[in-house]
Structure 1
Amino acid sequence: MKKKKKSRKKRKEGFSNTKLFDLLLSFFRENPKKRLNYKQVSKALRIKEMGVKIQLIDVMKEMAESKIIEEIQRGRYRLIEKTTTLFSVVKNTNKKGVYVGLDGGDEIFIPREYSLFSLAGDEVEVVLFPKRKKKQAGEVIRVVERKKTEFVGVIDNSSSSYFLIPDDKRVSFDVFLNEKSVKKEHLNKKVLVRIEGWNSGFKNPVGRVIGIIGDINNHDTEINSILYDYGFDPKFPAKVTDSANKINEVISKKEILNRLDLRKTTTFTIDPKDAKDFDDALSVKKLDGGRWEIGVHIADVSYYVVEGGVIDVEAFERATSVYLVDRVIPMLPEFLSNNLCSLKPNVDRLAYSVLFEMDEDSNLLNYRILKTVIHSNKRFTYQTAQKIIDSKKGCFSQELLLLSNISKKLRKKRWEEGSIGFESSEVKFVLDDKKNPIDVFFKESLGTNHLIEEFMLLANKTIAKHIGFPKKSAKPFVYRVHDLPDNDKISSLTNIVKKLGYSINNNSARLLSKSLNVLLKNIKGKKEQQMVETLTIRSMAKAIYTTKNIGHYGLSFGYYSHFTSPIRRYPDLVVHRLLDKYISGAKPTKQNELEELCKHCSEKEKKASQAERDSVKYMQVKFLKNKVGEKYDGIISGVTEWGLYVEIIANRCEGLVRVSSIKDDHYIYDEKKHALIGCRSKVSYQLGQKIKIKIKKADLERKQMDFILV
């Protein structure tokens, strides 16, 4: 493979001083220790015109006066500009380069040729050059840690060499493939490639084919490609499934004697219709004096998944189950997730339980955390349980009505204490036998969804406070934290809603959350609802896992963790193990090791969420590909300098109206107003505005749709 050659175009007379300045600056930065005169520079840059050479001398003198270069000997110059080196993370990428985070929340754009093939999430060492014309310049000088080393795509064999063209269009490079790794059966297929060399001296990273995913444009191939692209293998290694299948299903008498036996207590699950992995169950038992014992029972995965074993290592690597449009990729092998650990009805199951002693006004009087054995009497769906609550008759109606009443009071208290409520309906696709989307429907939350949510929140909060309070003596633990909103975004939101007649009180975190709830309530049904809700959500921080407890702002909890879903979330499994350890008085886990685990799980959660969104985009394009030319009402869901993102009201499918397609004026992006505004007409297209569009193109390969305004 040929070494990368620096591209130097032949310069013509009349070349501007500004462009010549930029060219010289790049050249001196590439040769920081060399002493160069104008003849050497002209030769290297292939400048032959005398007029441009004279310009070059003048620009070099200007650079010396600006103390960017210095004259070491007469006519000879060397780079002297001061630089700053920092370690950071690549935030985003496109075909032209990468965006790297700076202190204070700012970002710097680094062109592709100075990025060392870095990608989003990579930890990098960056050198920052002095600002010129208020613009920061920089270069990636080392990639400390690469987060992605495997890529999905199609092999291009149109030249004498083989290259992988990655599916992910944010990747700025193709991958040169070792000829020996490419076989005839790899061509015209989706393949998985692993990078084996990142040498910046070459034009491309070097990789080899490690597997065939399937036929191009095949549905399963495309869905599996999404999974592989985000680092999730659709299948478990044979040693993991074999290990799971060998686990004894019989619960020993000795184990039952070591636990609180609750098999005779009324217990049931409430889950979605299509659920198979039942993480949680509720029990209800009447006590004296108007008190009730309400049990939150969570599958005791830690009993079956031995720490450090082959199943545990695989579960850690995955960190989460992945929920795509047409399938679930579980964190644990199906024998565990859908069978042995699942709290199915009419079978004995091991659980980790929190037993709450409560009155009917939702006051928490006491609680116990302990290992149990339970026996679920009934498997409800959200719909069947809601029907019983609404009609006040049916199986376990008294217990369901009690839980519904208490959960409503818990929810009301939570709002009063500052918990922020974002209500949204979930879009679901109706699929035919070949997994093609034929319709969409909106899945609204029922009272039973809120019922389960409140008791899970109560359990998670109780567990976190049990270990984390008081903070001075707290042992290392896994918390689910949510930081304060971005102050600049809240200020921007405040200015926008003020013009609409609303207000936001940002004098304290508590007052802010209360005023946001009032705002979200007041905009319901108004034309500005979509815009205000979108901007409010965007102002919020992302919840993460960490050992450093700062509380959960969105829930208004001082202590919060994840305890209730160990079948599908690895942090929950870790929390179970830590509880075991600390309740038994064992030595605390090292905080730095736990923090690394938290970081890994937060990253995998983000990747799973991105995979889910990509699968939705793929299905949206599939759903609309036969509807090109049709017109729809939509709402502007995003505004950028390159166009308007529009969500179709009827089906929530999103596409892009490119600014270049709007021909009636020249439109400029106004970041503060979240709008594109016409220079002459002053016509405005703003976030949340209703417009009419026509579907122009549906591109399955890129998972994107192009709309035009009607």
Structure 2
Amino acid sequence: MKTAERKACGLIFCSLVLGKKKGLYLRPFLLSTQKTAKFRSIFKRAPTLESLYTPTNKAASKNLTNPSLPVILSAAMSKLLSKEELVEKIKTALKENSHAPRIRELARRLSIPEGQYSQFRRLVKSLRNTAILEARRGKLFLSERQEAIIGIYTPSRAGFGFVQPEDGSDEIFIARDRAGGLLLPGDKVEVRLLRPAWGEMKREGEVLRVLERQTDQLVGTFHPTNRANYVIPDGLGERWEIYIPKEKTKSAHAGQKVVVKLSPHKPGVWGLEGEIFEVLGDATSSEVVIQGLVFSYRIPVEFPREVQRELTSLPEKVGQEELKGRWDFRKKTTFTIDPIDAKDHDDAVSLEKLPNKNWLLGVHIADVSHYIREGTAIDKEAIKRGNSVYLPGRVIPMLPHALSSNLCSLLPRKDRLAYSCMMELTPEGIVKSYEIGRAVIHSAAKLTYEEVQEVFDGGASRKRLSKFVEPLENMLQLSKILLQNRMKKGSLDFDLPEDEIILDDQGRVIDLKRSVRLDSHRLVEEFMLLANQTVARFSSGFNIPVLYRVHGTPDEEKIEAFFSILAELGHKFSHKGPITPLRLAHVLQVVAGKPEVELINEILLRSLKKAVYQDENIGHFGLAFDRYLHFTSPIRRYPDLLVHRVVNEYQTGRLSHARFEHYRTQARRLGAHCSATERTADELEREAVKVKQLEFMQDKVGEHYSGVVSGVTNFGIFVRLGDMGVEGMIRLRDLTDDYYVLDERGHRLVGRKTKKSIHLGDKIAVWVVRVDREAGRIDLVPGWEMEKTGIKQKKRHRR
């Protein structure tokens, strides 16, 4: 190569590499025709410079020397051909050819320039014995294999990925250079199978096109530079950075959290491009981060105009006309028991002693279906949301506040419409008879769990709530009997505290704690469980097409693994025979009161299946109920609202055959939808709590905590800190006193030299050494490693 040519080439490539290091998006310039021809003769093994002229991210510079991404310029055509276009040309030529050509003959037919032949030859060889081409004795034939498979793409951080086909067949390996561009987790793609599975190797394929993006908007942090602007999406990292044209930044500033609307996917283009849809604010603010999570999970916050218009037609209070045909329970002593900050009161309770010594328990649920008619804008929006979402310091309601916090809410000292389940129970807690119907109630008080517990404990609230003391104590007595009855049947009672975030008036975290289940919580829980079970009994008995809340039998492998962990923790149980709720309930009873009880509860809960909604009743394994549904929270769960609606149509004689079929079809469709929205809400709530926990811990570097080992992996151990619910990690690289190896069967790390072991469930003293809010990570070191970190230790000791 001549000196002048080498200098010119060095100048070009240095420019690209420099851009890569700065994280810039470069658009390589076009050379003149004469210079282009000159450089083609130099770079016979590289793509033509024209093929690089496309708006991509910095990954494009890596494609310069990637022989598997050839883009050929045909001398017979005036336009550039992408790889996909050239493959189609090859397929067309083979279809039209009267005989099977060799590679050289095929190149002549497609007018491939001599300078590009070696590149074309490599492309054809890469397609041999795939779903496109087959080669026999040097001649090329169109492959007779299946053309395309549809599936969901999952990328890895290393660049390659996998596609899980929709037909349930084995997943397909996708090399980085065969992804057809930068794909996102969950993208629905069309894949061409290249090679079948061989030995331990998975079958291999190539993405032809993106059929459906998992999302068309992402949330990330804005990074402007002198040459280009880009956004790094949350949870994906720099490899998925999104190029933002200068005119589409919406005046965002560096370090701000933004919502990006992605441009349509272009086959063969590696990078992502989009425009800023909304600027959320400073990326270091926890409230902004949570707002970004809400956008990422596609949770609608504002209600559409159609919903707002319908709200204006609703009454402000209960009218006399609405009371016709309803039970009048306004003179019964009825009240709500909820968290102190609750506004959507959808259940109230009453209890009275009957002359025959039996109890008459009333569970009164807000009659939401009276106000929300099927097919209205409010109803459609409620279906879309599926449920309310509860975040630290705020609620994203399923229904507008005018309904959820006012007209439907069972507020104290106001007439409210209800759907009541009246149950007569024997002193032993057995339901002797029941009635379900529409009613009007007048709640006497809005009680909180804490003040009701004070009544039970003989605290200050006992005097202030004197007129409620007797019914409350009767309710406590009955609820304990109901709990005992459930436990005898094998109902699993997971006594797990919930993470609680204490905020000040400005929304800043001032403390973290784990809430303990009180007798007042159990009281309400038992009454709601009984009402749900009773309505399920009624619905199944009369074959009413409702949505059931079902929980399947757990997988044997997971239960065997659970018993294996129990044995390592010192609790040996026989797990031979069928898996029943009663056997698992016995385990929970035996470990109750042990230091590791919370960990065992969590492991068992993770070993069970997730409860879901469906139209077919298969029972509820965890509760040991043969029939169960959700009836008691129609303000915040759509399945409850649907149950109210169809049960009322049956009771009023309006459930015709056509309506029956309508509700059965709707239950099948909404079961999967509402299960999905519930999972989304749970995930978002966990993420939001973690954001607040990280905010609280950011200034705790150097502080000492006692913790419990909650997980053991081949890269470190997870530790739960005290009673705060915060979890951090001790990484293997920070354990320098020995070389630790994972013992998977023993659920522990073992030092090779010292034989020192760290088990699941061990108590351990740790120090906080790093808090990375952006990565969502808290790094810890054990006490014996702290001095090596060089971090100043704080004198204050935490819980």
Q: TM-score, normalised by structure 1?
A: 0.85
- Flag the 1:6–1:233 CA change in 2: closer, same or farther, 3 A: same
Aligned to 2:573: 503
**Aligned-residue offset at 1:256:** 0.4
From 63, 67, 73, the counterpart of 2:137: 73
Deviations 1:21-72 (A, max 9, x none): xxxxxx9xx99979987999xx99999xxxxx9xx9xx99xx99x9999651
Aligned to 2:735: 662
Aligned to 1:607: 680
What is the letter of the counterpart of residue 678 of structure 2? E
Alignment of 1:251-262 (within 5 A): 251-262=318-329
CA distance in 2 between counterparts of 1:170 and 1:407 reads: 51
**Aligned-residue offset at 1:242:** 5.0
Contact residue 152 and residue 186 of structure 2 kept, 8 A: yes
- Flag the 1:448–1:663 CA change in 2: closer, same or farther, 3 A: same
Aligned to 2:532: 460
* Matching of residue 545 in structure 1 with residue 545 in structure 2: no
SS at match of 1:396: helix
Aligned to 1:320: 387
Aligned to 1:16: none
**Aligned-residue offset at 1:218:** 2.9
Contact residue 646 and residue 663 of structure 2 kept, 8 A: no
Identity rate, percent? 36
CA distance in 1 between counterparts of 2:516 and 2:170 reads: 38
CA distance in 1 between counterparts of 2:142 and 2:599 reads: 50
CA distance in 2 between counterparts of 1:196 and 1:333 reads: 33
- Flag the 1:105–1:665 CA change in 2: closer, same or farther, 3 A: farther
From 435, 444, 453, the counterpart of 1:368: 435
CA distance in 1 between counterparts of 2:406 and 2:156 reads: 42
Deviations 1:486-541 (A, max 9, x none): 2211112223334534114352232xx22222222222344554553332122111
- Flag the 1:167–1:125 CA change in 2: closer, same or farther, 3 A: same
**Aligned-residue offset at 1:92:** 8.5
CA distance in 2 between counterparts of 1:677 and 1:200 reads: 49
Aligned to 1:443: 515
**Aligned-residue offset at 1:378:** 1.7
* Matching of residue 569 in structure 1 with residue 637 in structure 2: yes
CA distance in 2 between counterparts of 1:705 and 1:417 reads: 42
Deviates more, 1:292-301 or 1:631-640: 631-640
Alignment of 1:23-38 (within 5 A): none
- Flag the 1:498–1:645 CA change in 2: closer, same or farther, 3 A: closer
From 685, 692, 703, the counterpart of 1:630: 703
Deviations 1:327-364 (A, max 9, x none): 22222221211111110111000011111122222111
**Aligned-residue offset at 1:707:** 1.7
From 271, 296, 305, the counterpart of 1:229: 296
Q: How many pairs are equivalent? A: 680
CA distance in 2 between counterparts of 1:345 and 1:547 reads: 35
SS at match of 2:699: helix
- Flag the 1:256–1:650 CA change in 2: closer, same or farther, 3 A: closer
What is the letter of the counterpart of residue 766 of structure 2? I
- Flag the 1:273–1:528 CA change in 2: closer, same or farther, 3 A: closer
CA distance in 2 between counterparts of 1:118 and 1:261 reads: 60
From 720, 725, 745, the counterpart of 1:652: 725
**Aligned-residue offset at 1:179:** 4.8
Contact residue 243 and residue 274 of structure 2 kept, 8 A: yes
Q: Which structure: larger Rg? A: 2
**Aligned-residue offset at 1:408:** 1.2
CA distance in 2 between counterparts of 1:484 and 1:272 reads: 33
- Flag the 1:662–1:366 CA change in 2: closer, same or farther, 3 A: same
- Flag the 1:389–1:495 CA change in 2: closer, same or farther, 3 A: closer
Contact residue 112 and residue 172 of structure 1 kept, 8 A: no
Contact residue 126 and residue 138 of structure 1 kept, 8 A: no
What is the letter of the counterpart of residue 733 of structure 2? S
* Matching of residue 136 in structure 1 with residue 202 in structure 2: yes
- Flag the 1:110–1:627 CA change in 2: closer, same or farther, 3 A: farther
CA distance in 1 between counterparts of 2:685 and 2:229 reads: 31
CA distance in 1 between counterparts of 2:412 and 2:117 reads: 76
Contact residue 533 and residue 628 of structure 2 kept, 8 A: yes
* Matching of residue 476 in structure 1 with residue 545 in structure 2: yes
Contact residue 286 and residue 692 of structure 2 kept, 8 A: no
What is the letter of the counterpart of residue 624 of structure 2? S
**Aligned-residue offset at 1:414:** 1.0
What is the letter of the counterpart of residue 244 of structure 1? L
Aligned to 1:403: 475
- Flag the 1:412–1:676 CA change in 2: closer, same or farther, 3 A: same
Deviates more, 1:98-107 or 1:494-503: 98-107
What is the letter of the counterpart of residue 667 of structure 2? L
**Aligned-residue offset at 1:293:** 2.1
**Aligned-residue offset at 1:646:** 1.5
Deviations 1:598-646 (A, max 9, x none): 2222111111111111111111111111111222222222233332222
Deviates more, 1:219-228 or 1:449-458: 219-228
* Matching of residue 702 in structure 1 with residue 775 in structure 2: yes
Aligned to 1:492: 561
Deviates more, 1:334-343 or 1:124-133: 124-133
- Flag the 1:630–1:191 CA change in 2: closer, same or farther, 3 A: same
From 202, 210, 219, the counterpart of 2:269: 202
SS at match of 2:450: helix
**Aligned-residue offset at 1:388:** 2.7
**Aligned-residue offset at 1:557:** 1.1
**Aligned-residue offset at 1:457:** 0.8
Deviations 1:359-391 (A, max 9, x none): 222111111111111111122111222333444
SS at match of 1:395: helix
SS at match of 2:771: strand
Aligned to 1:50: none
Alignment of 1:78-227 (within 5 A): 96=159, 119=184, 129-139=195-205, 146-158=213-225, 160-169=227-236, 173-177=240-244, 179-185=246-252, 188-227=255-294
Aligned to 2:422: 355
Contact residue 270 and residue 379 of structure 1 kept, 8 A: yes
SS at match of 1:410: helix
CA distance in 1 between counterparts of 2:380 and 2:260 reads: 23
- Flag the 1:601–1:115 CA change in 2: closer, same or farther, 3 A: farther
Aligned to 1:284: 351
CA distance in 1 between counterparts of 2:695 and 2:239 reads: 26
RMSD: 3.9
- Flag the 1:438–1:445 CA change in 2: closer, same or farther, 3 A: same
What is the letter of the counterpart of residue 505 of structure 1? H
**Aligned-residue offset at 1:132:** 3.9
SS at match of 1:184: coil
What is the letter of the counterpart of residue 229 of structure 2? Y
CA distance in 2 between counterparts of 1:187 and 1:108 reads: 39
- Flag the 1:365–1:120 CA change in 2: closer, same or farther, 3 A: farther
- Flag the 1:94–1:36 CA change in 2: closer, same or farther, 3 A: farther
From 511, 530, 533, the counterpart of 2:601: 533
- Flag the 1:205–1:305 CA change in 2: closer, same or farther, 3 A: farther
Aligned to 1:19: none
Contact residue 530 and residue 688 of structure 1 kept, 8 A: no
Deviates more, 1:252-261 or 1:580-589: 580-589
**Aligned-residue offset at 1:596:** 2.4
**Aligned-residue offset at 1:148:** 2.7
What is the letter of the counterpart of residue 429 of structure 1? I
Q: TM-score, normalised by structure 2?
A: 0.76
Structure 1: any 5+ residue segments left out of the alignment? 12-26, 48-52
Aligned to 1:14: none
